[in-house]
Amino acid sequence: IDEKWFYVTRVTKKVILVRGEEPDKRHGHSKSHRTKIMFLCAVARPRWDHGRNQWFDGKLGIWPIIKMVPAQRTSCNRPKGTLEIKNQSCKRPVYTKMTCENVLPAIRRKFPVVDRNRTIYIQQDNA
């Protein structure tokens, strides 16, 4: 299990346009105004799955660590009360809840049949 930060928008964007079509105006290219979201990633060692006769790639899942909060004020972009994405502080209760609700079911669902009855050891990155 590891936490990774990703930007929602990119600084540069490639667009394919039809002849006569104009590109959209993009504002706010400063990195300080770009939205970052933290994700919880879970991977395992790739191995052969004898039950399914295919390779288990080891990818268990990736889940955003966010909370949906209603906007407190009206702005030019949205009215008051519109749900906004906010980063959630990743402390012990949040981390435990995400592990129990997301990671463990993904392990049970995607693990090879031979390894499902074995003890599960979750190694957490210490970042």
What is the predicted pLDDT for the residue at 12?
73
pLDDT per position as a tens digit, 40-76: 999 888 888 888 888 888 889 999 999 999 999 998 8
Which residue type, as a one-letter code, is found at position 109?
R
Q: What angle do CA 47, 53, 58 make, to 5 degrees?
A: 30
Q: What is the pTM of this model?
A: 0.72
d(CA 118, CA 121): 9
**Alpha carbon separation from 58 to 70, 94, 107 (Å, rounded):** 37, 24, 10
How is the chain split into domains, by residue range?
2-11+33-115
